[in-house]
Structure 1
Amino acid sequence: MPTEYKRKGSVCRGEWSEQDLQQAIESVQEGRVGVREAVRSFGVPYTTLRRRLRSGNHRKLPLGPLSTLGQENEVKLVNHIKKLQKFGFSPSRTTVRSMAFELAQKLNLPHKFNIERRMAGYPWLESFLRRNKDLAVRKSEARIYNVDETGLQINNKPGFVIAQRGSKNVSAVTSAEKGETISVITSCNAEGSFIPPTCIFKGKNQKPEFADGMPPGSLVFMSEKSAYLEGVLELIILQTKKLMQVVQPVTVHLMRL
């Protein structure tokens, strides 16, 4: 269990809030009250208020040593965990500990994490959850995704036809010889959540415009023989494994935030 400091006796350090500090500084700087009057009105210690007036620092830091990752990096980690949950990839406790280790390593932060196992300890995780009250350990719910493959034609241009005047929907069957068929692999669940699709084009050279308008995270594969799934199934599996490896640690993404 991580150690948590508990104040003894009638010691009342740090009872003021960040808002109290900001209001006290603004009142003194605007000349409405003096320093001692601001101390009595907002409950901020005299030495603290004088020091913050000189430095201009309005933030309240926790008592004792700071967290290993630092407040700013912990906020990035919390936001990323929420994003992973939104897309159905809520990280486990072990994954969060690994993410903390990788982030500390990439940022060259001093830490006492387990280097052999490449992860933070459980005491760090419990302290992390205690500092970030909007996160908690929850029992996950299984999501069943259905995967299917469909063929779509591109570059086919329907011509003019004779139809009833005023009709809203006028459709016609186009010839497969006029267009190019691609395979699209899609996956979604009953909630309406979906995994970005994968498209297979026939050819060797992939063009950037092939991915125009596709959702973020979508994949495009090229197959010299055909655009059918059988020809690139192994490649898709390998690429999916690489994608999952990126989704779990997400260290590089966190550093760019």
Structure 2
Amino acid sequence: MPQLSYTEENVIQAMLDVTDNGLSQNQAAQKNGVPQTTLSDRLRGLPSRSEITQPAQLLSKSQESRLVTWILRQEALGYAPSHSQVRATVAALLRQQGRERHIGVHWLARFIKRHPNIETKVGKRQEAARFNSFTPMAVNWYFGIRESEYGWIKPENTVNVDEGGIMAGFGLDSLVIGSSDPRRKAFLKGSQSRTWTTFIEAVTADGRLLKPGIIFKGKELQQQWFIDEFRKIADWYYITS
């Protein structure tokens, strides 16, 4: 029995099995999981369902494909577009073509569903200078220098330091559209100045944990606010910058 779900590739292969491989329509339909009526219609030259409905769609297949390419390129450049930006882009394209059509409330969700290589995710804001500096050339240069200049250092004297922090004021992360690849994070460039409370932690290559440090922005550390309370949790370093 033909499967309930089939693709255009299944239909094309079934047509080739009839025209080139000598199978009957029934055999080709069964082999490729395509309804025989669909196969018969296509062999008689009738258009596919997607070709029939495409004129009623907001964008053509080629336009949607180009829109996906633009979204992925913008993400790679550090400007992953938000939902409103994608809708504005589509509206501008329609105006350019002289087609003043309403973009439905659910159009974008359906567009994303039609293209599994994109999805909605949280874009992480990064300063533009930091984003632009992280290039393959810079990474290769770093590891080349590390091996040639510091490869002789013993594991117990090799320390990996990680820096994190909390930004004071308003948050700038937002929902954007980007690649559905879980290995790709959507980082957004930003030029705004930010005040950070910084956390520094370190571990040596042989597994020793070093005492973490917290750096507050300011001239003086207001010890009466937090030091005693924090030291009950962990014996960390607290300084200002």
Q: What TM-score results when the alignment is normalised by the length of structure 2? A: 0.47
Bigger fraction of residues in helix: 2
TM-score by length of 1: 0.45
More strand by share: 2
Larger relative contact order (Cα-Cα within 8 Å, sequence gap ≥ 6): 2
